[in-house]
Amino acid sequence: MNIAIIGPRGVGKSKISRRLSKLTGMPFLTTDLIAVYLNGGVSIPDFVKQQNGDWRPFRCLELKILQQLATANGIILDCGGGILFDVAESGEEFFSQEKLAALKKIANVVYLAKDTEYLIQKVKDDPTRPSLSELTSYREILARRLPCYEKAADIIFEVGDYTTKQSASLLARQLQLPVL
């Protein structure tokens, strides 16, 4: 059984995924790091800049990554915040049924949920995160994305004020994963 961790930027997907990996001994992968590797070490912000701000090539790469992981078994997959989305030629982001199907094919999907105001403050002015849109605020993006995360999830885990360690332990228990 694979576990895919989804949710918005800043919710703690990477930290909780790493901690869950340590707790269970399950290998940990991240779609963003796989994408960087496949692009010869080019960071995601630089990759998007090389595409003149066009997110479509990156979203296509995410689908390819999910398809390549179809034979994986027993991994924890930390998914980038946009894993469920694609971008139309017009630049509008939309929920991708194709990416959702690819994700569901390989894993049980866990959505990490957290308060919107916390998320906005967490990613505000973070230079390591590429701009999602020059025209749309993160609040607007969250308003569109949050219902999609819920729709895609097999399990919704409310992070609340739990520490990373507490979240990983509670999540392992909820998923009935054996711990080391």
Residue (of 65, 79, 62) closest to 11 by Cα position: 79
Task: Look at 45-59, 98-112, 125-139 and tell me which has the smallest mean pLDDT.
Answer: 125-139
d(CA 168, CA 34): 23
**Three-state secondary structure call for residue 96:** coil
Of the chain, the percentage scoring pLDDT greater than 70 comes to 93
pLDDT at 128: 60
Q: 132: Cβ–Cβ under 8 A, 6 or more apart, which residues? A: 55, 82, 138, 141
Q: What is the pTM of this model?
A: 0.92
How many residues in the chain?
Answer: 180
- Token match 């707790």: residue? 23
